[in-house]
A and B are shown apart, each in its own frame.
Chain A
Amino acid sequence: MNNFEIGEANTLWKRWSLNAKKNPDRDAIIHWVAGEEPLRWSFSRLLESAKIFSAHIRALDIKPGEVCAIIMRHNAMFYPLYLGISRTAALPAVLAYPNPRLHPDKFRQGLEGMSQRSGLDYILTERELEPLISPLIEKPGSTIKAVYFPLEWNLNESIDPKIDNEIENIANSVNETDPFLLQHSSGTTGLQKPVVLSHRAVLNHVVHYCKALRLSENDKVVSWLPLYHDMGLIGAYQIPLAFGIPSIQIDPFQWVLAPVIQLETISKEKATLLWLPNFAYNIYAEKINEEELEGISLESVRMIINASEPVRHDSHEKFANRYKKYGFNPLALTAMYGMAETTLAVSQTTAGEKIPEVIVDRNKLQNGVVEFAKSNSITRVCVSSGKLIDGCDARIVDDKRNDLPDGFVGEVAVKSVSMFDGYRNYPEKTAEVVENCWYFTGDYGFRYQNEFFIIGRKKDIIIVAGKNIYPEDIEDVVNQVEGVIPGRVIAFGEEDETMGTEQVAVVAETKADDEQSKNQVRMAILKAGMTIDVNIHKVYLVPPRWLIKSSSGKPSRKANKEKLISATDPQVWSR
């Protein structure tokens, strides 16, 4: 284990500079594009390029503390740009590049909402998005001051030493408690919450999480995770960069087309560590042709960390069974529990040890009681997300935020030395979830022998392939579909065991009564989902007044999902 001392460098820029000084030629980032030679950023070259970007940022009069949102596809210049922004003491924030499926108006609305909420000052993007983003500057109430295209900047000019010195002085004047970055708690655009993390929060996290991971100088991270996601940004980008080890970055869009790329990369680069959402285990276990695996070796893998959606026992088993013959050590399977608000990790299982699992009575668990399964029980295998990492504390609490003893399911509340400083420009939301320095996560779980098991969510968020989707967003667009009775729609997540994730289901009331018109309504619902980049997997159509209302007068997601599952109702049409 490398000795990582915050005292040596108390901001990220100072830490990166120190890494470049200690190991100038070591790979920092290996930018991977399938079929091409990877572009290798050594620590020293990365820092030098970051300095050039910082001079451009400074020339644009971007001030310390201002937020620079980066919206960019997989590009080798992303990394020095990000570091360059940080050098000027501005705050980098990575936002998702719009998927072609997303309607341009929805992208604009989402960005507009996010900019007002997060207080985005500048957008740094690709020229292609100019027509979409530029009109936002003129909008009343817009916080966006300008849109820039850093990929067009001249990076060959040397920096004026005076300016370079001036920026270095700015970087050196930054305190560890100053904000370092802005990341968004994952969710659909309009509802994302802006999380500001200080240098201290991130560096503390590097210290404690790296200890839990037993990270060493021999480790090498490989990731296709998008950098707007906390697991990609913190786990696979910030941690290795601060710790001083290489990180291989694969294009997420290429990964979804050909997931085997990551396995090839592991084999070629002898990567040791990766984070994956649960669905990826199923894809690797069942959706890759055997012929494609010729020459693959996973012997170098020390840890695969399952996080960002519920960890499923079957997914781990399938993966381990398939890849044992490719040198994969099943004890490299681990799990983590974390969130953007605590920088990333709260708990982590130990590499080299089998992940603890408990088999409990499913019905009792639904009622909040953890009881080991008996021979006649309907069972559920719960997979541990590990013990608390140093610097973190957690409690299981009831609805009134009173502590619950072990053996009961409740909301997970956490406290961490890497805690966020509240949601930016959103004090009312911060007050809702933070009380006496405890962050109430909205996740349901239980503790057993100091291991934390996460089993569900207080809110109805749907997690599809690691992406959080708010049902409200889906219901909003489906409510506008012709043939659907407005206000009489619910969206929820349905377990897809084959894919190892949840899928989106919609229940809508309609007056359509024949097969053809029901199919037309279904198609319109699917298309409505597409406009917000949500794939609606299953549509249930029901007659008027079928949906049960909650006390608020709105259709209840929970009650209607149960109604749907519990009995076969001939009035329900589904496809």
Chain B
Amino acid sequence: MISTELKKVILKQLNLDDFDLQDETTAPQVPGWDSLNHINIILAVEEHFKVKFKSYELLRLKCVGDLQKLVDSKLGR
């Protein structure tokens, strides 16, 4: 399940008040989440959670749930 914290970081970066982000939500389903913005979202998540992602980890991300799992694994959750 997507944490409120991650959702907040993503929505802030996309300049959206609210959007129903589910585990299976993919970037093309979210307004504003295009390839240019993707990199900004990743950097915002890294900065907020004080984590660093590797490129091969980013290539495996298929949906928001995968991003949540990656953040959790970095934080040892």
Beyond the given A34-B56, A34-B59, A260-B55, please list 20 additional residue pairs across the A-B interface where CB-CB is below 8 A: A35-B59, A99-B28, A100-B26, A101-B28, A256-B39, A257-B35, A257-B58, A257-B61, A258-B55, A261-B55, A287-B39, A287-B40, A287-B43, A292-B54, A292-B55, A464-B36, A499-B36, A523-B16, A535-B37, A537-B32
Nearest CB in chain B to that of A261: its residue: B55
A289-B52 in contact (CB<8A): yes
Question: Which positions 22-50 of chain B face chain A at CB distance < 8 Å?
Answer: 26, 28-29, 31-32, 34-40, 43, 46
Complex interface bits, A239-265 against B, C-beta within 8 A gives 1, otherwise 0: 000000000000000101111110010
Q: Compute how far the CA of A260 lies from the CA of B58 in the bound complex, rounded to whole angstroms.
A: 11
Q: Are A256 and B56 in contact (CB under 8 A)?
A: no
Whether the Cβ atoms of A523 and B56 lie closer than 8 Å is no
Partner of B58, one of A100, A258, A279, A535: A258
Q: Does A392 sit within 8 A of B, measured CB to CB?
A: no
- Which residues of the other chain, A, contact B35 by a CB distance below 8 angstroms? 256-257, 465
**Quick one: which of A100, A257, A287, A575 has the most chain B CB within 10 A?**
A257
- Categorize the interface residue count of chain A: 20 to 34
Contact B31 A526 (CB under 8 A): yes
| Chain B residues positioned under 8 Å from A259 (CB to CB) | 39
Question: Which chain A residues in 266-293 approach chain B with CB under 8 Å?
Answer: 279, 283, 287, 289, 291-292
**Which residues of chain A are within 8 angstroms of B20 by Cβ–Cβ distance?**
none
A533 to chain B, nearest CB (A): 8
The reply on B15 being an interface residue by CB < 8 A is: yes
Q: Which residue of B lies closest to A519 (CB)?
A: B17
In the assembled complex, the Cα of A257 lies from the Cα of B43 at a distance in Å of 12
**What are 23 inter-chain pairs, A to B, with CB distance below 8 A?**
A34-B55, A34-B56, A34-B59, A35-B56, A100-B28, A101-B34, A256-B38, A257-B55, A257-B61, A258-B55, A258-B59, A259-B39, A289-B46, A289-B52, A289-B53, A292-B55, A499-B36, A526-B32, A530-B31, A535-B32, A535-B34, A535-B37, A537-B32
The docked-state distance in angstroms from the alpha carbon of A199 to that of B24 is 48
* Residues of chain B with a CB closer than 8 A to A289's CB: 46, 52-53
Set of chain A residues within 8 Å of B26, measured between Cβ atoms: 100
Residues of A within 8 A of B32 (CB): 526, 535, 537
A223 within 8 Å of B (CB atoms): no
Contact yes or no, A291 B52, CB < 8 A: yes
A279 interface neighbour in B16, B36, B37, Cβ under 8 Å: B36
A283–B39 Cα gap in the complex (Å)? 8
Contact with B along A525-552 (1 / 0, CB 8 A): 0110110000101000000000000000
- Report how far A137 CA is from B54 CA in the complex, Å: 45
One digit per residue, 1 when the CB lies within 8 angstroms of any chain B CB and 0 when it does not, for chain A 6-25 equals 00000000000000000000
B31 touches A258 (CB 8 A): no
CB distance from A279 to the nearest CB of B (A): 7
| Chain A neighbourhood of B43, CB < 8 A | 287
* Other-chain residue from B16, B29, B59 in contact with A254 (beta carbon distance below 8 A): B59
The 8 closest A-B pairs by CB, nearest first: A258-B55, A101-B28, A526-B31, A256-B35, A535-B34, A100-B28, A287-B39, A258-B58
A342, CB-defined interface residue at 8 Å: no
Complex Cα spacing A289 to B52, Å: 8
Closest to A291 in B: B52
For residue A86, CB closer than 8 A to chain B, the reply is no
A501 at the B interface (CB under 8 A): yes
Q: How far is the CA of A35 from the CA of B59 in the complex (A)?
A: 9
Q: Which residues from A are CB-within-8-Å of B54?
A: 292
Name, among A101, A519, A526, A529, the residue most crowded by chain B CB atoms within 10 Å (CB to CB). Answer: A101
Measured between C-beta atoms, what is the minimum distance from A461 to chain B in Å?
18
Among residues of A, the one whose C-beta sits closest to the C-beta of B16 is: A523
Question: What distance in Å separates the Cβ of B28 from its nearest Cβ neighbour in chain A?
Answer: 4
The distance in angstroms between the C-alpha atoms of A527 and B35, with both chains bound, is 16
Assembled-state Cα–Cα distance A35/B57 (Å): 11
Give A449 to B52 CA distance when docked, in angstroms.
Answer: 48
Cβ–Cβ contact B31 & A523, under 8 A: yes
